Amino acid sequence: MCGAPCWSEIKGGESIEAADVEETEGQFLYRQGEKYVFMDTANYEQYELSSEQLGDAWKYLKDGTLCQMILFESNPITITPPNHVVLKVEYCEPGAKGNTATNVTKPVKMETGAEIHCPAFVEMGELIRVDTRTGEYIERVKE
């Protein structure tokens, strides 16, 4: 027995009220303390999400990033960033000269403040493509 109706307690022919869930495109505008502000691109309404609601998605957000936003009863509950984003490398140690070994990586700090591991040849100021689903480096991007 559950407090709320359980699936086992629902009888054939009974109807269940559907949750008021909506998916919309949201554009990341800015961060204000622990809140992240998004704009619904359909109606220009602004929404705030907490860092808890975003989880690791904050790592891939820069001004203007378009995301899928999930609204429950017109309130945002989470966002999904695009599968791939291009971010600038803000800081990394220089790669060792002549290091041609494969799979040698180093930590890299991106413009969003997040850190990932990249191949040793990646340098500060370069643009890199990152898979937001895995947090992994994909490739360098030419400007």
* Tens-place pLDDT, residues 40-81: 999 999 999 999 999 999 999 999 999 999 999 999 999 999
| One fold for 19-80 and 84-141 | yes
Residue 2's alpha-carbon distances to 5, 8, 13, 19, 112, in angstroms, are: 6, 10, 20, 19, 43
pTM exceeds 0.85, yes or no: no
Out of 3.30.200.20, 2.40.50.140, 3.40.50.720, 2.130.10.10, the CATH code matching 19-80 is 2.40.50.140
Domain spanning 84-141, CATH architecture: Beta Barrel (2.40)
The tens digit of pLDDT for each residue in 72-89 reads 999 999 999 999 999 999
